[in-house]
Amino acid sequence: ALLQLLVLSLLDPTGLLELAVSATMQLGSYVSRRQFDRECEAEADATGLDIVTRACFDPVAAARMMSKFVELDPDRSSAWLRSHPLAATRLKRLLSQSGRIEADARAREHCAHEQLDLRAALRALYERSAPPTVAPSAPRGS
């Protein structure tokens, strides 16, 4: 490293070449890390979809939610600098995965009972938190 600096200082005493080389190396490092980040995000999406399905929620709803991100993120020009995949790419992947999960009968068999339990728990919670009803009072003077 010291020898490289010595050679660079002899070839480029102003330091512009060193600056250009350094900037190029940093940009290359940044771009390569973005690809890794996008792969991690794709894995996180797949894991999240698996968790949603195991928790007996509709996996297609995750894709519907991602379609809202597609509407909010129309810029597709700088995809290679992004840390996350394009929303449209994520939506396409979620749709294909949710379709596969939806077709898997085992993913839904255990959910009927779970969904009934969840609805009952939500109903009980709502009934406990609802304000008490008060009977209308009789008009005064009657």
- pLDDT tens string 8-18: 677 766 667 66
Whether 28 has a pLDDT exceeding 70, the answer reads yes
- How far apart are alpha carbons 91 and 72 in whole angstroms? 13
- The amino acid that residue 135 corresponds to is A
pLDDT band at 50 (very low <50, low <70, confident <90, very high): confident
pLDDT for position 105 = 45
- How far apart are alpha carbons 115 and 139 in whole angstroms? 46
Whether 27 has a pLDDT exceeding 80, the answer reads no
- How far apart are alpha carbons 75 and 102 in whole angstroms? 31
Phi then psi for residue 77, to 5 deg, are: -75, -35
Whether 86 maps to a domain, the answer reads yes
Whether 89 maps to a domain, the answer reads yes
pTM for the whole structure: 0.52
pLDDT for position 41 = 85
* Tokens linked to 16: 């512009």
pLDDT for position 80 = 61
Domain extent, residue 61, equals: 34-123
Whether 6 maps to a domain, the answer reads no
* Tokens linked to 50: 């698996």
Whether 11 maps to a domain, the answer reads no
Whether 67 maps to a domain, the answer reads yes
Whether 19 maps to a domain, the answer reads no
pLDDT band at 38 (very low <50, low <70, confident <90, very high): confident
pLDDT for position 106 = 55
Whether 92 maps to a domain, the answer reads yes
Instruction: State the total domains in the chain.
Output: 1
Whether 40 maps to a domain, the answer reads yes
Whether 32 has a pLDDT exceeding 70, the answer reads no
